[in-house]
Amino acid sequence: MKELKSFFEEVYRSNYPKVVRLCMGYLNGDGDMAKDVAQEVFVKVWQHLESFREESSISTWIYRISVNTCLLHIRDNKKKKVGSVERMKDIEDETDDVSKTGQLDQLYQCINSLSSTNRSVILLELEGLPQKEIADIMGISHEAIRTRIHRIKNELTKCIHHVDV
């Protein structure tokens, strides 16, 4: 039990930031809600850690739980629009400049306009996961993921340009 707890502690430390980032992307940059969902993700990680079979890496396993937990949250996602001021508080980095936060706002806004599945796919791509791993997490073939990512990338860059103008 003690060993499991220290393993969990390690898993938590190394994965918390990316889980929160993923959740923020999913929830239109809502920092408070992202932290709540991230907590829910780690509750599930702790509940099922003993059953983790090492068939995939722990990080892939956690990403699967995160994507599915975020999917469950479409149950009460009210598509809240989050302003940059609120997010600046969330990220707790007072030195960050406003234009950078504004750009992130645009990115969140454009991600939020995608379908739920496409949102998950592009967030994992933004995190820099290999496409094979994204395919494994999403349960879609590698070939289909490659085509889909190409399409979403175009959609996203067009959207950012549109918001810019």
Interacting residues toward other proteins by CB under 8 A? 5, 8-9, 12-13, 16-17, 20-21, 24, 31, 34-35, 39, 42-44, 46-48, 52, 61, 64-65, 67-69, 71-72, 74-75, 90-93, 96, 100, 103-104, 107, 115-117, 120, 125-128, 136-140, 153, 156-157, 160-161, 164
In whole angstroms, the minimum distance from the beta carbon of 100 to other proteins comes to 8
| Closer Cβ to other proteins, 81 or 96, answer by number | 96
| Closer Cβ to other proteins, 3 or 75, answer by number | 75
Cα 73 to Cα 23, 93, 142, 145: the distances in Å are: 10, 27, 26, 23
Contacts of 74-80 spanning 24+ positions with Cβ under 8 A: 74/116, 77/27, 79/28, 79/112, 80/27, 80/28, 80/30, 80/33
Please count the other Cβ atoms lying within 10 Å of the Cβ belonging to residue 47. 10
| Closer Cβ to other proteins, 28 or 120, answer by number | 120
In whole angstroms, the minimum distance from the beta carbon of 81 to other proteins comes to 19
Q: Give me the amino acid identity at 34.
A: A
Residues 31, 91 contacting (CB under 8 angstroms):
yes
| Closer Cβ to other proteins, 81 or 158, answer by number | 158
| Closer Cβ to other proteins, 81 or 154, answer by number | 154
In whole angstroms, the minimum distance from the beta carbon of 130 to other proteins comes to 14
In whole angstroms, the minimum distance from the beta carbon of 36 to other proteins comes to 12
Residues 148, 118 contacting (CB under 8 angstroms):
yes
How many residues does this entry show for the chain?
165
Distance (Å, whole) CA 120 – CA 139 = 12
